[in-house]
Amino acid sequence: MTATEVQSVPLDQTGVRKAIAGIALELREGYVFPDMGEQAADALEKNLGENAYAGVTDPAQFALLLTEQLRAITQDSHMRVIFGSPFANQPPPSAPRDAGFEVKRLAGNIGYIHLAKFVPPEIFNSAADDAMRKLSDTAALIIDMRDNGGGHPASVAYLASFFLDPGKQVHLNDLIWRNRGTSTFRTESFWSSPTPVRYLGKPVYVLVGPKTYSAGEEFAYDLQVLKRVTVVGATTRGGANPGGLNDLGSDLFVVVPTGRAENPITRSNWGGVGVQPDVHATPESTQETAMALATGEITAIK
């Protein structure tokens, strides 16, 4: 069931106050940028005190309003309030889950993978193995991330591993997590790992666009920094701060990012600016441009 399908019960002021209190707590205790979290919490509480939400009864509209306000303050696209649990329509744990790979062999012996998401490694890795085995003998490879909305960072690291020297572990990305309720942080590192086949010494083109987000952006960014791929398309959305879902009551939920990505080479990330393509192309011409690059019809200028 999506948010638009949730049976909407009018929101009363008790629910409004509870939601604001819950969001403010998460901002102060968990947001990866503590000073900004305090500032955002203060702003919401000020709005509440000034009766800015007095006329709000539709929980879906309330969620949209709070999302807009939080993003205006933090400039963080991962920050959002949701009406209706996004887990309500998930398959049962016993049901098979699709890893999201679409694999083709295009003209000129060019491999093509469309990947819409990075599911957890226990599902993702075997599907990635299968996809890469099928395309290991191609002359070049196109990986289409234009519809990729994100997912698990360990799966990003595993897919990247196919394109890197198996003789050494490559440090791909760090996630810097805030220790809850403190101004201290811990680091979770992601490295390349063994894979059953490797795709080395041949060109790889990663397609990106305005819908490419979060983990989808990380895959392009990590390998672009390592100069292993050519990124083709349009600038991505720019979301680099992961976080979990918190229940606010009244079927409202908030995502407050508790971590941020940090590339070990650039000491930065794509947050707020997006991944910048090596070869710019319109969304309509992105795949055609990559094909022209892969077949040598045009040459990328980096």
Q: Tell how strand 279-280 and strand 230-233 pair up.
A: parallel
DSSP state of 28: H
How many H-runs (helices) and E-runs (strands) does the chain carry? 7, 12
Query: Residue 75 has what pLDDT?
Result: 96
Q: Give the C-alpha distances (Å, rounded to integers) separating 262 from 22, 155, 185, 195, 221.
A: 28, 17, 13, 24, 11
Q: How far apart are CA 204 and CA 112, in angstroms?
A: 10
Is 301 strand, coil or helix? coil
Q: How far apart are CA 17 and CA 11, in angstroms?
A: 10
Got the DSSP string for 93-141? TTS-----EEEEEETTTEEEEEE--B--HHHHHHHHHHHHHHHTTSSEE
214 touches 261 (CB < 8 A): no
83 touches 96 (CB < 8 A): no
CA 200 to chain centre: 26
pLDDT tens for the chain, 302 residues long, are 444 444 568 999 999 999 999 999 999 999 999 999 999 999 999 999 999 999 999 999 999 999 999 999 999 999 999 999 776 665 565 555 789 999 999 999 999 999 999 999 999 999 999 999 999 999 999 999 999 999 999 999 999 999 999 999 999 999 999 999 999 999 999 999 999 999 999 999 999 999 999 999 999 999 999 999 999 999 999 999 999 999 999 999 999 999 999 999 999 999 999 999 999 999 999 999 999 999 988 876 54
153 touches 218 (CB < 8 A): yes
Query: Residue 93 has what pLDDT?
Result: 55
Q: Would you call 166 exposed, middle or buried from its count of C-beta atoms within 10 A (0-12, 13-18, 19+)?
A: middle
Q: Give the C-alpha distances (Å, rounded to integers) separating 161 from 61, 164, 183, 290.
A: 43, 5, 33, 22
